[in-house]
Structure 1
Amino acid sequence: MTFPRWIAGALLMLAAATSQAFDFKTVGAAPAILYDAPSTKGGKLFIVPRGTPLEVVLTYGDWVKVRDLSGELAWTEAKGLSAKRNVIVRSANVKIRATADDNGAPVFIADKGVLLELVEPAAGGWVKVRHRDGLTGYIKNTDIWGL
């Protein structure tokens, strides 16, 4: 009878793992150095500009393993990340709209790679964002990375 319990336990763990939300942080005031190991003695891979969203995959003491927009994994110091949330536009010429629907009037157009501040999630697969110039509007979840 322990076999069915083991299966039930494994299924519960799998369900818990898949229901966990992604944890995103934003590079803080200074650019972040990404390493191949959780140490400043590790190899430096590249520098990530401030404001860039990174997905936190694992926390190990003062270090976090992160995934970037391209899917690359690396380590960085946790102190260099902020809880502030930003997102990156994934496609060219994406319309940011006044309301959270396809018929909303366009407020501005953002090109691929543009960094936007996440203001608040909205219903129906849209989020409210702010451009660094102060313009705000709604964009589809599928048009951004960092959620």
Structure 2
Amino acid sequence: MLKSALLSKFRWMAGAVLLLATAASHAVDFKTVGAAPVILYDAPSAKGGKLYVAPRGMPLEVVLSYGEWVKVRDASGEMAWTEAKGLSAKRNVVARAANLKVRASPDDTASPIILVDKGVLLEMSEQPSSGWVKVRHKDGQSGYVKTSEVWGL
């Protein structure tokens, strides 16, 4: 009985360690479409079906790397393949809702600098901290948004 209980406990602990190791190896990796738009395909080949063209600056989550190709997810959750060379390490985020308030400081009571519509690209200026991220709009205004209100982090 004691041996069975110890064996069961060991299996549980080994499973937990494997689960944690797996989770750590699957850190979220975001890239941005580089200087030129990229074609998104249904397979990791230029001979695959063309799904659509991703515009310059669009953030994509890299789900899997396969040689010179990466499987990516866009803000709507769609999955596709593209060539890794077309992506940049630069980070952009997308507003998740209409009338997103870009604030003067990382505080709910801070004055809004601008309001942006759903789907608007914002350049990430600094790494996220305490639930906020500093961003810059294409018109030059900089401010802070809640990390929960943007996609691409």
TM-score by length of 2: 0.89
For the Cα contact (< 8 Å) 2:71–2:81, is it kept in 1? yes
User: How is 1:13-92 mapped onto 2 (pairs within 5 angstroms)?
Assistant: 13-19=18-24, 20-92=26-98
* Equivalent position of 1:12 in the other structure: 17
Structure 2 portions without partners, runs of 5+: 1-5
* Equivalent position of 2:138 in the other structure: 132
Alignment partner of 1:108 is 2:118: no
Cα distance in structure 1, aligned partners of 2:150 and 2:103: 14
Alignment partner of 1:143 is 2:149: yes
Cα distance in structure 2, aligned partners of 1:135 and 1:78: 30
Structure 1 portions without partners, runs of 5+: none
Structure having the larger proportion of residues in strand? 1
For the Cα contact (< 8 Å) 1:67–1:73, is it kept in 2? yes
AA aligned to 1:65 is K
| Runs of 4+ residues over 4 Å off in structure 1 | 1-7
Count of residues in Structure 1 that have an aligned counterpart in Structure 2: 147
- Greater Rg over alpha carbons, structure: 2
AA aligned to 2:92 is N
* Equivalent position of 1:98 in the other structure: 104
Once the two structures are TM-superposed, the CA of residue 86 in structure 1 deviates from its matched residue by 0.2
For the Cα contact (< 8 Å) 1:57–1:66, is it kept in 2? yes
Identity rate of aligned residues, in percent?
Answer: 61
Cα distance in structure 1, aligned partners of 2:86 and 2:136: 22
Aligned-residue CA RMSD in angstroms?
Answer: 1.7
* Equivalent position of 2:125 in the other structure: 119
